[in-house]
Structure 1
């Protein structure tokens, strides 16, 4: 079944602790969004020491930054980090070297594609990555509308790379799941559909799991 890896994009430590603790008993992994205010307009809170001390499940880092290699150095000693996701657009000319250096830390490596980036760029990088993540929105903020062409991109990637772990981040909610399930994606990374709305995060996770199971059977 499709995995749920909630995306946590927060401005401060208190919000991170509250949101992560709300799901750590029911999920094996979260995604921590790290934005530098340059690669994307906003910046986010992310403190390796706090994550190391306070997070009790695994996490993947989604690096929305201009210099991924500078960022990963401060996460080397954080045992919860299992996968690091790097945007192709952060440095297209040197992306292969960046992915290789990330992998040298012992983490799984994921390549992230913005909506405007062709899937063709993966062809030369497929041996360097463990995962591929598609953005269903323009990255940097939660609550945007889903770009429907993303479904076709996922389907094409699944045909071309049948064994690759594929994730989807951006505008994942109960409405868009109807199109997402069946696309070939392995994991979804909902943000505002899980956190910061009228229901408790655990309830939102349960509802999403139930819907994924139903749509998978249908």
Structure 2
């Protein structure tokens, strides 16, 4: 299940939700083509068992989580470039001996809340020192978007920003309630999703524990 996306609106020098009553009614807000960065439900942690056929608490070998997600976006170039840096923190049950494990993670670009337009798989190596239960390592994901795909059509922009005077038939109608506006905003909205690349059994464990 994908996390819900908060969709910003249109660029303006006024504040989000400001209403201009001097020359008519118009809602001004800010919008950016940069994708929202999120971790899908159930993919932000991973549990490794030993033996792998058991899911008993006594068989837990390593538990790891994705945390400290930070993103930066550049929308000024030919492509909208977004980079998400994050940390993987892990804990093992047996601290004897030095050990390195490789954990797979994914980065997926999703359009409109459901359409996957790109997916990459990476790995992050976690190295435990002898005698240590905990270890961590940095990782990152990135995406490139076509600015045209992330831009609202001009007619939709006009519907949202058009000044409405008191007495107009649609003066009290929120333009965001228009199905065409909702659909256009959804189509031009993207997410960069990151999380562990889980097996079916690992995902079921996360969902049911």
Q: TM-score range by the shorter chain?
A: under 0.3
Q: TM-score, normalised by structure 2?
A: 0.24
Q: Larger % of strand: which?
A: 2
Larger radius of gyration: 2
Q: Which has the higher contact order (CA 8 A, sep 6+)?
A: 2
Q: TM-score, normalised by structure 1?
A: 0.24
